[in-house]
Chains A and B, each alone.
Chain A
Amino acid sequence: MSHHISNNTETTASQNGVDLTAAKADIVAIKAKTDQITITNPANISTMESGIATNVSGINGILNHSIDSNLKAFVDANSNKVGITTTQANNITTNNSKVGITTAQANNITTNNSKVGITTAQANNITTNNAKITYPSSASTKLALVGITSSVNLNSLVSQSNANVSAIAANTNAYPQFTNLKRLYNQGGDIYNDGKIKFAWNATSRQLQFYVLDIPSGEYLVGGVEKWEGTSRTSVATYLSQGESTAYKYFTSPQTSASSSVVNTTFNLTTSYARVMYFLHPYNELNYPSYEITILIGSTLGYHQISIKKFSN
């Protein structure tokens, strides 16, 4: 707004008063604006306008990529960058060195739902194989010695074996019991001992002898001999001994004291081709064994067959 006070003297005073009021208002308005300006030194607005124009030109140069050639060169070179090469950029894009997995493999990994894992303790047990049963070479060697061509039930074998053991025991304890041996005519010594009686071959007189080891006190044994040589037979039977013995006794005549040992040389077995039978029996004792001994002679200077038959116990 512009107000102008007229210099025309013909102007009315009232008109001038109005203009002054308007001018004052303008001055106030101008002051309000100048109060917004801070300035401590003289400034040439024209110069400033020129500088601003120059700056605008520079800014437009940057925006238009037509700035100072040196600055542009720096920008283009971007000297301080840490960048990558085109090859690297391409490699990143194609990831040439990757060791990847196929889609099927990826799916398999994803679906590996059915796995059954093991615990750490189980893994350790596998490593140490705690429950292993070793198979030593000695056992292998033994197994190699087993010869078998068809299935065998060992339990049945054991059962049969036990039955056989029982049967053998029954046979062993059955009577009569037999003891058989061959003896050189000139070898003296014991030939039998069952805890009740022992028999010995007397190589000097060549007769059988007995020795009572265990019999109730005062009980008698009777016995005798029958000798068959060639066509002749000689025999004798009598009571023999009483109680337990302290010496070997003959079957041929009474020898009742403990140390009696009376020989009857008639019964010496010094002839070839002979058969001799001895017997020994308790006089009247239920629980005492009886014996029948047979000696077969080929050569009188050879091996004699001696068979001892025991009855009861």
Chain B
Amino acid sequence: MTDRWLIFLNNELLFWTEQEDFANFNDIAEEDRANCEMLKNVEGFTGPQLVRLIVDGSGNKIPQVYERPPPQLD
């Protein structure tokens, strides 16, 4: 199984990578880093989906994988 690291900004997936060297906040603006989180190998995530973090009743952030909405012309 290929490892995948997911980087979240403000509870929304910002980017993901299969290379640990890229699993960091280095390219994120300093002021945003406090709002970033990283998870490894989120169940159900294979790449094309979107992921967001939701807070459960205990206050824990749980990743929620959801399908990308159909493309909309800009």
Given pairs A184-B48, A187-B18, A272-B74, 13 additional interface contacts (CB within 8 A): A186-B13, A188-B15, A188-B22, A189-B17, A203-B14, A203-B16, A203-B17, A204-B15, A204-B27, A204-B28, A205-B27, A271-B74, A273-B74
> Which residues of chain A from 239 to 290 have any CB-CB distance to chain B below 8 Å in the complex?
263, 271-273
Judged by a CB distance under 8 angstroms, whether A58 is at the interface is no
The prevalent SS among residues of A at the interface is: loop
A186 to B74, CA, bound (A): 19
Q: Which of A205-227 contact B (CB under 8 A)?
A: 205
Q: How large is the interface on B (under 10, 10 to 19, 20 to 34, 35 or more residues)?
A: 10 to 19
* Chain B contact residues: helix, strand, loop or mixed: loop
Residues of A near any B CB (own CB < 8 A):
184, 186-190, 200, 202-205, 263, 271-273, 299-302
Judge if B57 is at the interface, Cβ distance under 8 Å. Answer: no
Q: Does B60 contact A (CB under 8 A)?
A: no
Chain A minimum-CB-distance residue to B25: A204
Cβ of B12 to closest chain A Cβ, rounded Å: 10
Contact with A along B39-55 (1 / 0, CB 8 A): 00000000110000000
Residues of the B chain whose Cβ atoms lie less than 8 Å from the Cβ of A184: 47-48
Give every chain B residue within 8 A of A271 (Cβ-Cβ): 74
Q: Determine the distance from Cα of A184 to Cα of B71 in the docked complex, in whole angstroms.
A: 14
Contact present for B71 and A186 (CB under 8 Å): no
Cβ-defined contact, B19 with A190, below 8 A: yes
Task: Identify which of A189, A205, A273, A300 contacts B22 (C-beta below 8 A).
Answer: A189
Measured in the bound complex, the distance between the Cα atoms of B69 and A302 in whole Å is 11
Complex-state Cα separation, A186 to B4, whole angstroms: 12
Q: Chain B residues with Cβ under 8 A from A300's Cβ? A: 74
Could you tell me the distance in whole angstroms from the C-beta of A67 to the nearest C-beta in chain B? 130
CB of A203, distance to nearest CB on chain B (Å) = 3
Q: Bound state CA distance, A200 and B24, in angstroms?
A: 15
Nearest-neighbor residue (CB-CB) of B13 within chain A = A186
Are the CB atoms of B71 and A189 closer together than 8 Å? no
A272–B13 alpha-carbon span in the complex (Å): 19
What distance in Å separates the Cβ of B41 from its nearest Cβ neighbour in chain A? 15
Rounded to whole Å, the gap between the CB of B29 and the closest CB of chain A is 9
Nearest CB on B from A192, distance (A): 13
Q: Do residues A189 and B14 form an inter-chain contact, with CB atoms below 8 A? A: no
Q: How far is the CB of A274 from chain B (nearest CB, A)?
A: 11
State A299–B71 Cα separation when bound (angstroms): 7
Q: Give the residues in chain B near A187, CB-CB below 8 Å.
A: 15-18, 47
> 17 A-B pairs, CB-CB below 8 angstroms?
A184-B48, A186-B13, A186-B15, A186-B16, A187-B15, A187-B16, A187-B18, A188-B22, A190-B19, A200-B22, A203-B14, A203-B17, A204-B14, A204-B27, A273-B74, A299-B71, A300-B74
Closest A-chain residue to B19, C-beta based? Answer: A189
Instruction: Specify which chain B residues have a CB less than 8 angstroms from the CB of A188 in the assembled complex.
Output: 15-17, 19, 22
In Å, the complex CA distance between A300 and B21 comes to 25
Chain A residue contacts of B47, Cβ below 8 A: 184, 187
